[in-house]
Structure 1
Amino acid sequence: MDLLIVDTLDAEVTQWLESRHSVRYAPELALDSREFRSALYNVRAVILPSSVPFGAKTLPFAPLMRAVGRVNGGAENIDADACMRAGIEVVRSATATAQAEAEFMIGALLSMLRRVPIAGTDGMLVGRELGAATVGLIGMPPAARAMASMLGGFGCRVIGYEPSLHASDGVWDRWKVAPMPLRELIETSDALAVQLSYFTRYQGLLGERLLPYCKPHQVMVSVSHSGVFDERSLADVLASGRMAAAWLDSLEPGALDEGRPLHGAGNLQITPRLGSTTRESRLRSAWAVARRIDELLMATPVAPNEFRPTSPGEPLDLAAEPESP
Structure 2
Amino acid sequence: MKTDRKKIVISEFMDTQAVDSLKRHFDVCADPSLVDEPERLRDALADADALIVRNRTQVTAALLDGAPRVKVVGRLGVGLDNIALGACKDRGVRVFPATGANARAVAEYVIATSLMLLRGAYLSSAAVAQGQWPRAALSNGREAAGGTMAVIGFGGIGQLVAQLACGIGMRVAGYDPQVPADAACWQETGAQGMSFDDALRAADVVTVHVPLVESTRNLLGAAQLAMLKPHAVVINTSRGGVVDESALACALKQGRLGGAALDVFADEPLKAGSPLAGAPNLILTPHIAGLTVQSNERVGTLVASRVMHALLEGEHDSTNTRELRHGTDIIR
Q: Which TM-score band (shorter chain)?
A: 0.7 to 0.9
Partner of 1:24: 29
TM-score, normalised to structure 1, is: 0.83
1:58 match: secondary structure? helix
Deviations 1:152-208 (A, max 9, x none): 221111111112112222221122211010111111111111122222321112113
Distance 2:306 2:171 in 1: 38
Highest RCO, 1 vs 2 (Cα 8 Å, sep ≥ 6): 2
* Cα distance between partner residues in 2 of 1:196 and 1:89: 23
Conserved? CA contact 1:40–1:61, under 8 Å: yes
- The equivalent position to 2:151 in structure 1, one of 120, 137, 150, is 137
Please, which of 61, 66, 72 is the counterpart of residue 61 of structure 1? 66
Q: Map residues 158-197 of structure 1 onto 2, 5 A cutoff.
A: 158-197=172-211
- Alpha-carbon distance in structure 2 between the residues aligned to 1:12 and 1:204: 39
Q: How does 1:108-123 map to 2 (within 5 A)?
A: 108-115=113-120
Aligned residue number for residue 51 of structure 1: 56
Structure showing the higher helix proportion among its residues: 2
Distance (whole Å) between structure 2 residues aligned to residue 53 and residue 280 of structure 1: 26
Cα pair distance change 1:38/1:228, threshold 3 Å: same
* Offset at residue 91 of structure 1 (A): 1.7
**Matched residues in 2 for 1:296 and 1:169: separation?**
33
How far is the alpha carbon of 1:80 from its aligned partner? Answer: 2.1
Distance 2:10 2:78 in 1: 16
Aligned partners of 2:312 and 2:286: how far apart in 1? 36
In structure 2, the CA distance between the partners of 1:14 and 1:140, relative to structure 1 (3 Å rule), is: same
Alignment root-mean-square deviation, CA: 2.4
Worse overlay, 151-160 or 272-281: 151-160
1:107 and 2:107 aligned: no
SS in 1 for 2:222: coil
2:139 aligned with 1:128, yes or no? no
| Kept in 1: contact 2:252–2:281 (CA 8 A) | yes
Q: Structure 1 242/48 Cα, relative in aligned 2: closer, same or farther at 3 Å?
A: same
TM-score (normalizing by structure 2) = 0.82
Aligned to 1:305: none
SS in 2 for 1:158: strand
The code of the aligned residue for 2:189 comes to W
For structure 2, the 5+ residue unaligned runs are: 1-5, 123-136, 316-332
Q: Distance in 2 between matches of 1:59 and 1:30?
A: 15
Q: Which moved more, 1:269-278 or 1:28-37?
A: 28-37
The percentage of counterpart residues that share the same residue type is 30
Separation in 2 of the partners of 1:191 and 1:116? 17
Q: Secondary structure at the match of 1:233?
A: helix
**In 2: Cα distance, 1:124 partner to 1:273 partner:** 29
What is the CA-CA distance between 1:92 and the residue it aligns to?
1.3
Give distance in 1, aligned partners of 2:186 and 2:78. 27
CA contact (8 A) 1:255 1:262 kept: no
Question: Residue in 2 aligned with 1:270?
Answer: 284
1:71-114 deviation line (CA, Å, top 9, x unaligned): 15844322222222222122211201111011111000000111
Deviation at 1:253, TM superposition (A): 3.7
Counterparts in 2 of 1:15 and 1:230: CA distance versus 1, 3 Å: closer
Work out which of the two has the higher radius of gyration on C-alpha atoms and give 1 or 2. Answer: 1
